[in-house]
Structure formats: structure tokens, C-alpha cells
A and B are shown apart, each in its own frame.
Chain A
Amino acid sequence: MNKDLFKNRYDVVRIIIAVFAAVFLLRLGYLQLFEKKYDRIAFENAIKELEIYPTRGLVYDRKGELIVYNEAIYDIMVTPHIAKTADSAKICSLLRITMDDYSARMAKARAYSTRKASVFMKQVSLEDYQRFQESQYLFTGFDGQVRTIRKYPHHCAAVILGDVGEVDDNQIKNSNGYYKPGDYVGKSGLERYYEKELGGTQGKKFIYVDVHNREQGSFADAKYDTAAKAGDNLYTSIDIKLQEYGEQLMQNKKGSIIAIEPETGEILCMVSSPGYDPNLLCGAIRGENFKKLVFDSLEPLFNRATMATYSPGSTFKPMVGLISLNERAQGEQYTVPCNGFYAFAGMSLKCSHHHPWATNIEYALAQSCNPYFWQTFRNAIENPKFTNIQESYGTWSDFCRSFGLGSRLCIDLPSEARGNIPSVNYFNKIYGEKGWHSATIISLGIGQGEILVTPLQLCNMYAAIANQGWYIKPHLVRNMEEVHAKKNIKVTLPKNNATIDPQWYIPVNEGLRQVVESGTAIESKINGISLCGKTGTVQNSHGDHHSVFAGFAPKDHPKIAIAVIVENAGFGATYGCPIASLMVERYLNDTVAENRLAKQKKMIETNLIQKYQQGKNMAITSGH
């Protein structure tokens, strides 16, 4: 009996053991044979897809000088779960952060993942990183990751070159998964316009990672990996020395300088002032500096050369003259009596200064005689060959548009203002079809009124005048064809014909020569260089007149067309013209003659910033 009971219990024990074994086998069968998801999870655990970032293309100026390059910086990564023992006090002192900051950064990393590495500190300089590396054995769980940031060794041309920053959500959404949060792309300027070329193509790499997200070798012998393709270099038309000089001349002034090589349409420099050092928007300091620049009342981020629009003022007079001559509305030797004022249609308009009567267009330009150009404009509008003003003004405005005014020139920068050449419909709408005549729009004759141009358009107009009838679309990158050929889109730059008969440029250009030789800009004469151009004193509603000069040099075979606008600075001859003449001299002669150094010094030292911050003075008279 007893023995039986014990034999029985032997079986019970055996059954208990067997039952558990059976449970285990069932569970294992379920896990290993039926449930398929674990295979995928294990794969996702162990294999990571890494982007390989290509190096961004470099940027050179027209003389081959490197103006944008990449510099290695380091992101310090942390894996919180193994970083517990790290010497936090030492890290704080090496990276120059406070203990509170350290805790905050750790908390952020921990919130992302305790077991995966995330950025502890972004964009540490090489120097800091090297010091950090020396003691890295003390910092388990901390690691460095190389990245590159842009460097601008000349500290200028910010509005041209632009900046690089993290992609925004829209770009990520529209990129078909190419961009990920934290990737860098061009945000403005050439960096943005040529993002495709500069950015290169990301590569992919599949690697094994361990639980701490550390690389443990490549997956499947790198069979699925693709290499990154480095970005193309840009060879720009910028003359970086000229650019630097221009920014120096424009310091502490609002305004812009733009220079174009008329023969090629290549932009030689584009200064927007006040500017900023493009290096301010690189690396760890970017965010803070960007905020500062955005809130700066002088708007340094605003590219005045392409985005600001102004009345061209007197710099528009050669255009008025050219159209009237071309339309045979008046001859070269046409005379307008000027007694200091101009009376017609019951109005009396003042001329700004006294000078002998202008007996031809050349002299009228040299003296910038307003009555002469009011009359010239009237002659074009009241031209008997047209039956009504719609026809005559329509023709007149088409001439203006053929010089690239009133619409975007579509240069290779992301943003550009269109300016304004008012249309026939515009005046019809305001005054009614019969309600307007030459007197209504007379101010257009001296470049005031509704006409608005960007400095870029103004400069391009003078390039066309310099070429005596054509221009090439202005551009910043010289190897544009080469760059685009790689994308199989051939872009040739057609010569845009400005529709004035070449013969009429002879008197007009002579007139522009006389402006500097004997006229309003005589003080900016440069020995040995035949500078042509026109001063402008542009009235505007924001205070003192803008000081403007637009021109080109030399007269024959012009090498540079230039437009300078100094906001609220007064007469065109006072700032615009001297700055332009210095730029031209510097560009053509590579140096500034000794007798003009005083002028250079004066221009550099002029500080108008305080003036901008004072109240706004309304302007009354119009221009020189």
C-alpha cells in the first residue's frame, strides 16, 4: 500500500516535469515557427540605414579665389544609458557649459532614447573637440560625429552666397524621403539656387549596430550600399576683391552697389548694405544670430540689390532721350529753353538748378535738365504718328520693357523684385481711357512717378546702353552651361535686344560721358578712364533723397556697368557717383589713384546710420 503510493508519486513528479516541458515546446513552437514578426523586429534592431552625406561643392570667384569651403565640425553624441558614469564636471568644463545645461541636455537625450545615441552638443569646433577627445576615456557613452559647416573666408557677399541651414518641414515633405529632419540645405542666395548642384547626392550604407547604436560592420558585405556623390563646384563671376571693396565703401550706409560686365552679363559684385558676415549663420551660433539679423531694423538680410525698388530718377533720362530719338519725336539738336522752371498745361514745374539752355541731348544729360526731359517725354507721348495716348504710351513702355525693366530678370538668385513700368491698362483704369494725357504722367519723363526699378535692373539697363542695344541676362555663375549640361538642359544666354536703333546711342552715350567730364558728376572724374553715367537724386517718401549713380566704363568697349544707390544720402553727385567711380577705378586699374584716396576715405567714413534712425524728412524737389 505504502509502496504503491510512493510509486504513484514518482509518476506524478514525472508528469509535472513532462507537462512543463510540453508547455515550453508549445511556446517555442509558437514563437519560432508560427509568429513571423520577430524576424523583422530582429532585423530592424540590428541593421541601420545610414545616409552618407556628400561634401558640398566649393565656390570660387572669377579669378579662381576660393570664397566658400567646408570645415569639419563635430557633434558630440551621447548614449544616456551608458553615460551614467561619465565625468560630468569635466565635460562641462571642456565644453564650457554649466551643470544645469548638462542636465538639461542629458534629459533631452534621454527623452529621445536611453539606449540610442543622440546629439548632446551640436557643432563643436575642431579645437574644442580635440581637447574633449584627449579625455574621452573618462566619458563612456560620449562620442564624436563629424559634420561639415560652410566657411566664408572673405566675410562678405552674404546676400549673394546665402546660407545653409536645416531643412524645413515643407522641403522634407516634398523631397520624397530624400531629406530627413536635421539635414542641411541652402536657405538663401546661391546656396539655395544651386542646391541641386552644390548639394550632391546622398549615399546609403547599411550597417550592423549594437544595442548602443554603435557601428559593428557592414551588412551583407556592403552589397546594398551606394556611394555619395560630391556636390559640383560653382565658378562665379564675382570679383571678391571688388565685392569686399564695395562693402567697405558702403559701410554704415543703406543701399546697394551692383556691377555687371556688359559684354557677358556676368555680375561682378552685388553689395547690399548694411550686410553681415556670412559666417554668422554657420554652425552653432546660427540660430541666435539669425534671430538678431531678422529683428535688426536695418534689415541686413534683405538683398537691396535685387529686392529693393526705387524710382530711377534722373538716371532714367537717357532712356527717355533714346526713345524720343528713336521715334523721331525730336532731333539730336533739339533745344528746350530752361529758365529754371517749366510751364505747360497750366502747370509750372521747377528745375532744380540754373544752367544755360540745353541745345542738344548731350548737354541736357550733362546738366540733367528736367524741363528738357519733360519736353522730350511729351514729344514721345504726343508723337503725331500715334492716334491716341494708349498707342504712344504703349510703344514707349514697350521700349522700357525691352531693357529688362518692369519684370524679373530671372538671375540665378532665389528672390528678385519685378519693379514697375506702369501699363496702359493701369492708367486707363485710374483715369479712364480719355482721362489721361502727357501732362498726367509727366513725372515719368524724369524717372519719378510710378516707375520702379531694382538696382539690378538699373545696372542692366546701363549695360544695355553701354552695349548700344543689347544685354545678356545677368548671372552670377560662369559655368552655368556646364552645370546645366549635366542635367541635360542646355541654357544659352540669348542677347536680349533692346529695341533702339544703335545710331541713337552715339549722342546719348556722349551725353553720359559729358556728365562726368563736364556735368553734374565732374568731381568724380577719373584720370585715364572714360567713365560714362548719370547721377540721380531720387525723391522718395522715406526721408532725404536717395543718392544714385548708374553708368559704365570705358566708353568704348565697356568693361563694367555699375549702379549705386545710397539711401537718403542726398545728391547723386555726393555719394552715388564717387562710390561708383571708385569702384570702376578699382576694378579697371586694380588700385585707386593717390589723388582720390581722400575721396575714398570720405566715402568709407561716412556714417548715415544715425540719420536713418532719426525721424523721416519728407522730400520736395526732384532730381539732378
Chain B
Amino acid sequence: MRNDQKFTGNIDWLTVLIYIVLVLIGWATIYSAVYTEGLSPFNTAGSGTAVNTGKQFQWIVGCLVIGAIILIIDGKFFVTFSYPIFGFFIPLLIGVMFFGAMVKGQRNWIRIGGFQMQPSELAKFTTSLALAKYLSGLNVDIRKWRDKWKAFAIIALPMMIVLIQGDAGSAIVFVVFALVLFREGLESYFLIIGASVIFLSVIALVVPKLWYLWIIFAVIGGVLIYFNYKKRQLVYLITGIVLVSSIYVTGVNFIFDHLKSHQRDRINVLLGREVEKGKDWNIKQSIIAIGSGGLTGKGYLQGTQTKLKFVPEQSTDFIFSSIGEEWGFAGSVVIIGLFMGLLMRLLYLSERQRSKYSRIYGYCVVSILFFHFLINVGMAIGVAPVIGIPLPFISYGGSSLLAFTILLFVFLRLDSQRLEVLR
């Protein structure tokens, strides 16, 4: 069959290669992070972290199988069933809050036999399907408020449920879909407002006294109005901006004061503020680990910071510090290079799609991977808040590996079928 011959030929093997390299680096790093003398990398007996490498290997094999299956399934299946899949996951996400298993204080796991799965990981995938489906619809224009609200709703619904589950880290990831909307034509001022919001949030927390900001805003506003007092509309606009900004920073301060203490501490750590002794331990130890790696690192299995458990969560959230410590700057550059290569490659693939659905879905994949990379690595090197989300393909954890695999391979399948789509 003509399609069969095309099947292998149209797969983007470069992406698959990067995927396999990342997954294997992850496996090797997990082994190093949990290494004890004589531990087999395939060990799944016993308890604690000793089983991590062996289990991850099983997951990797499983994911490769699932990836292969996805590559065989007709991509039209996902296009057609985008909404049903999305719809199926919403009650699952809600149900898990009541019937799910408890892991680390959060009831958001499904447990079937020895198999554990976090539906919120897959929610990112299903949301991508639904968002691509909606935005690729005829007559849908993101620049119209009517359509905007619906797109926002598709993103916000799962995000809110995950937030209610108590997994703020996973919920924040959904914010990154804004990047997809931006590519599909969302007005630039959203980006400007978004950047302004982040900027105002930071200065609201950094400046010691709230009224300093009020005065600064008033002075800036006053100066601008003085030079533009004849342009009435502009005066109104400036006045509005000053008022909204002042109210916003006040609100941020209020919310900050009413956060849970561990959340407040995380922000304080990031801002370099003094926190109670020990609260910034994780981040400090991670930075020490990475900083002590030097140019070429301490060598594989030789990292003291990770091996002696000074860095917590070293096979999951802080896995990048193991790489930084044992492989040094050289290793860090390789990891960042691989992710850049993957993201840029995926962007290129997205842009070459004939189908709007495939392109939008591709951007979803890029956005999600990028955000995880940004937060996870940024946290390990002390430039992002401590949000416990995994580094794609590398961190230990079956759920996340499976979710990222499905996310990526569905796109590879869509890409391999791009020529079948008529413009």
C-alpha cells in the first residue's frame, strides 16, 4: 500500500531520535540519583527509590510500544474524537478527587493494580486536542470575543479542576496555552498586558512598602499627563492605567499575605528574601550541586550532593541538579541544547502543517514542553519559583513520561500524515 511505504518515510526521525536520547539520559540520570553500591539498573524489587531505575525502564519500554501504536493509528482518529476524549477526561478529573488514591497528600491518582496514573498529566494532552479542534473550526476567529471566551473556557475548565485538586503546579502549566492563542492571532496587547502583569506582580512583592508604588505610579502618571494634558483620551487612559496598576499591586500584596505559608516561602526564596531557616534548603542544595559541577562535572555516579541526598527529589523535580553536578557545564549545555533542538524542530514541523488542527496541536505540544523545561530547570538553578513539575522525558515518573510520549507521538503521527490533508 502506498501509505505503508510513506509511513516510515514521513515520520520525523530527528524528533524521535531526540526523544530517545532524552529518555535514555533520563534513565541513566535516575540510576545515578538513586545509585547505591551494587544496584542493578533494572531492579524493581524492594521499596524506596531503589526501584526507580528499574520501573522507569519498564515505563520506557511501555512508552515506546504506545508510541509505536500511536504511529500506526490513523491521525484522523484524534482529530475526530478530540472533544469526546476531552469530555471523557473532565468527569475523570473530578471523580479522582473523591475516589482517587492519596499520594504525597494529594488525592489525584488512579490506581489499578500495581499501576498508578495521574490523570492531570494527561489533561494537558486532552486539552490540547480540544483546543486544536476548536480553534481549527470554520469561522472561528480568536480575535473575536465570542470565540475568545470559548477558547479560554476550554483551557480554564481542566485548569480549575486541577487547581481544586490542590496541584497548583500542574494547574499553572495551563497558562502556557496563551502562547498557542498568541500564534493563532490573539491580539498583541494580551502579551503586553500579560508581561505587565508579571512585571507588576514582581515589583509589588519586591518593593518593601506598598505606598512607595502608589507614589511612583502617581508621579509617572502625573508627568505623562502633564505632557499630554491636551489629549483628553490619552489622559483618561493614563489615569485608568495608574488606577488599575495601583489596585493590582495592592491586590497582589493582599493575596501574598493570605497565601499558605509554604507557598509564600517559595516566592520569598525566589525573591532572595530571608526565610525561616531550612525553608530554602532545597533550592540552596540544588544550586550548590550544580555550582560544584564546574566545567566537566564530578563524573557519572560521583555527585556527592545528589548521592548523599542533600538535594531532595533528585530523581524527579530536581533531576537537573544531578546532571549539572555530575556532567558540569558541558552536560547542562547538552541538555539545554537538546531541548532547544526539540522545541525548534517541533515549531518548524508545526509551521509546515497544511492542516490548522495539526499546527495548533503542534504549538500546544511546544508550549507544554517549553513551560515544563522553563520551570523545572529554572527552579533547579534558582531563577524560577519552586513548582514541582517534572522535566519532560527525563524526570522519574511513569505518568508524566507516558503523557509526554502520547502528546509528542500524536503530533508526530499528525505530521506524518500532513500530505494527506488538502488545503
Contacts and interface: CB of A to CB of B under 8 A. Distances in A.
A17 B340 contact: yes
A20 B289 contact: no
A37 B329 CA distance: 16
Given A6-B183, A17-B344, A46 B295 contact: no
Contact of B305 (A7, A12, A46): A46
A16 to B, nearest CB: 8
Interface in A183-231: 208-212, 216
> Which secondary structure dominates chain B's binding surface?
helix
A209 B182 CA distance: 51
B308 interface: yes
Contacts of B325: 42
Interface stretch (B5-13, B40-48, B377-385, B402-410): B377-385
B294 A39 contact: yes
Chain A: number of interface residues, binned into ranges: 35 or more
Interface in B294-347: 294-295, 304-305, 307-310, 324-325, 328-329, 332-333, 336, 339-340, 343-344, 347
Interface in B132-184: 179, 182-184
A618 interface: no
A13 B292 contact: no
Contacts of A46: 304-305, 308, 310
B330 to A, nearest CB: 9
Contacts of A426: none
A617 interface: no
A16 B304 CA distance: 35
B291 A35 contact: yes
B113 interface: no
Interface in B250-298: 278, 281, 285, 287-295
A262 B366 CA distance: 99
Nearest to A46: B304
A216 B288 CA distance: 20
B370 interface: yes
A28 B278 contact: no
Interface string A42-67: 11011100000000000000000000
B258 to A, nearest CB: 27
A33 B182 contact: no
A212 B278 contact: no
A209 B291 contact: no
A10 B185 CA distance: 11
B92 to A, nearest CB: 31
A249 B8 CA distance: 106
Interface in A546-590: none
A180 B372 CA distance: 49
A31 B305 contact: no
B288 A45 contact: yes
B292 A42 contact: yes
A211 B308 contact: yes
B203 interface: no
A334 interface: no
Given A10-B183, A39-B292, A24 B336 contact: yes
Contacts of B309: 210-212
A29 interface: yes
A216 B306 CA distance: 13
A45 B307 CA distance: 12
Contact of B332 (A23, A28, A41, A45): A28
B256 to A, nearest CB: 24
A14 interface: yes
Contacts of B289: 38, 42
Which secondary structure dominates chain A's binding surface?
helix
B294 A33 contact: yes
A21 interface: yes
A5 interface: yes
Contacts of A45: 285, 288, 304-305, 308, 310
Contacts of B295: 32-33
Nearest to B294: A32
B374 A20 contact: yes
A21 B337 CA distance: 9
A89 interface: no
Given A6-B183, A46-B308, A208-B308, A32 B290 contact: yes
B293 A32 contact: yes
Nearest to B310: A211
B333 A28 contact: yes
A133 to B, nearest CB: 23
A208 B288 contact: no
B185 A5 contact: yes
A35 B382 CA distance: 14
Contact of B347 (A5, A14, A43): A14
Contacts of A43: 292, 304
A24 B183 CA distance: 24
A114 interface: yes
A9 interface: yes
Contacts of B183: 6, 9-10, 13
B304 A208 contact: yes
Given A25-B333, A38-B287, A209 B340 contact: no
A292 interface: no
B121 interface: no
Contacts of B294: 32-33, 39
A446 to B, nearest CB: 74
A18 interface: yes
B340 A18 contact: yes
Nearest to A40: B292
A17 B325 CA distance: 25
Given A33-B294, A208-B308, A211-B308, A42 B288 contact: yes
Nearest to B180: A13
Contacts of A12: 182
Contacts of B351: 7, 10
Contacts of A23: 383
A27 interface: yes
A33 B290 CA distance: 10
Nearest to A47: B304
A47 B310 CA distance: 12
A9 B340 contact: no
A598 B363 CA distance: 110
A6 B185 CA distance: 7
Nearest to A18: B340
Given A13-B347, A23-B383, A33 B329 contact: yes
A554 to B, nearest CB: 72
A522 B336 CA distance: 105
Contacts of B290: 28, 31-32, 38
B329 A28 contact: yes
A442 B171 CA distance: 105
Contacts of A115: 278, 281
B338 to A, nearest CB: 11
Contacts of B184: 6
Given A13-B183, A33-B294, A114-B278, A24 B288 contact: no
Nearest to A28: B332
B329 A29 contact: yes
A16 B347 CA distance: 12
A173 B378 CA distance: 46
Nearest to A35: B291
A38 B288 contact: yes
17 contacts: A6-B184, A10-B351, A14-B347, A17-B370, A24-B381, A32-B290, A32-B291, A32-B295, A32-B328, A38-B289, A38-B290, A38-B292, A41-B288, A42-B288, A45-B310, A115-B281, A211-B310
7 closest A-B pairs by beta carbon, nearest first, are A38-B291, A42-B292, A46-B304, A210-B308, A32-B329, A31-B291, A38-B292
Given A17-B343, A38-B288, A42-B305, 5 more contacts: A13-B347, A17-B344, A20-B374, A24-B381, A46-B305
